[in-house]
């Protein structure tokens, strides 16, 4: 049976991709055939100067840390070159983001792996269009959720709001991950303790601050593999 989770954040730029890659690496060490799926990505850079090919950096990171071979389109079927919210780029580029396309990509990649992490865009209620939010698709697919939290002032409130929104959707939360996107302040452990006390959901681990992300992928046991909860 395939294990799969949707990875959301309390906001944008909280380090969802780093958390996904660390979990993929950990699960592969335990014998799983791992894969990451980032159905929607925005923001690109030229990684091949000769023919000016544009790629999304997060998608490439997920591709590199998936244990099974996946092409770029399999991991990221919907890609916008500009960095902006999906629903704005959707309208600007006259591109119709459909729930069915997200589900089709999920179905295809699920056939190849037994440990799958689906990375969202921004926070829980990120709009995909004027009609649908990313959360609507997660509810449709009945995916258990992992929350990534950037440890900073305000993170407790953001985490509680995200938690309550997910729970109100009748979805299960398999755990949360603390991430030090910037150098931690003196109250980071207090943030973790408060969130653990107030929410009573599994704490999967803390990602330390690092100037070089590659160093994080060589560390062991940073994040625990979540359990599927019914």
In this predicted structure, the answer to whether residue 49 has a pLDDT above a threshold of 50 is no
Q: What does the pLDDT read at residue 46? A: 53
Spatial contact of 174 and 146, defined as CB atoms under 8 Å apart: yes
Strand partners, 35: 116
Residue scoring higher pLDDT (200 or 137): 137
Percent of all residues in the chain with a pLDDT value above 90, rounded to a whole number: 74
Q: What is the CATH number of the domain that holds 40?
A: 3.40.50.300
Q: 126-162, pLDDT tens digit by residue?
A: 999 888 999 999 999 999 999 999 999 999 999 999 9
Domain range for residue 207? 3-216
Residue of 6, 5, 8, 2 whose CA lies nearest to 125: 8
What is the number of domains present in the chain? 1
Q: Which residue has the tokens 């490439």?
A: 60
List 3, 16, 25, 38, catalytic entry? 38
User: Containing H/E element for 9?
Assistant: strand 3-9
pLDDT band for 175, please (50, 70, 90 cuts): very high
Spatial contact of 43 and 83, defined as CB atoms under 8 Å apart: yes
Spatial contact of 179 and 188, defined as CB atoms under 8 Å apart: no
CA 63 to chain centre: 13
Q: 54-89, pLDDT tens digit by residue?
A: 788 899 999 999 999 999 999 999 988 777 788 888
Two structure tokens written together for 108: 């295809």
Assess whether 224 carries a catalytic annotation: no
149 assigned to some structural domain: yes
99 assigned to some structural domain: yes
- Alpha-carbon span 196 to 199, nearest angstrom: 6
Two structure tokens written together for 91: 């309208």
pLDDT band for 229, please (50, 70, 90 cuts): low
63 assigned to some structural domain: yes
Q: Which residue has the tokens 């698709």?
A: 137
């Amino acid at each position: 049976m395939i294990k799969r989770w949707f990875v959301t954040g309390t906001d944008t730029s909280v380090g969802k991709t780093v958390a996904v890659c660390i979990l993929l690496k950990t699960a592969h060490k335990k014998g799983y055939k791992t894969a990451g799926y980032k159905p929607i990505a925005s923001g690109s850079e030229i990684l091949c100067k000769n023919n000016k090919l544009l790629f999304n950096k997060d998608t490439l990171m997920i591709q590199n840390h998936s244990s099974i071979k996946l092409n770029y389109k399999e991991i990221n079927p919907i890609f916008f070159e500009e960095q902006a919210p999906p629903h704005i780029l959707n309208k600007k580029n006259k591109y119709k983001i459909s729930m069915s396309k997200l589900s089709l990509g999920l179905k295809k990649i699920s056939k190849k792996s037994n440990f799958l992490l689906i990375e969202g865009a921004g926070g829980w209620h990120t709009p995909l269009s004027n009609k649908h939010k990313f959360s609507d698709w997660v509810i449709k697919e009945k995916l258990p959720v992992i929350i990534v939290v950037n440890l900073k002032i305000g993170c407790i409130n953001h985490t509680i709001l995200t938690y309550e929104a997910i729970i109100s959707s009748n979805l299960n939360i398999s755990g949360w991950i603390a991430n030090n996107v910037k150098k931690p302040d003196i109250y980071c452990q207090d943030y973790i303790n408060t969130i653990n006390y107030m929410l009573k959901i599994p704490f999967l681990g803390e990602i330390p601050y690092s100037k070089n992300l590659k160093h994080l992928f060589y560390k062991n046991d940073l994040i625990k593999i979540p359990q599927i909860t019914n």
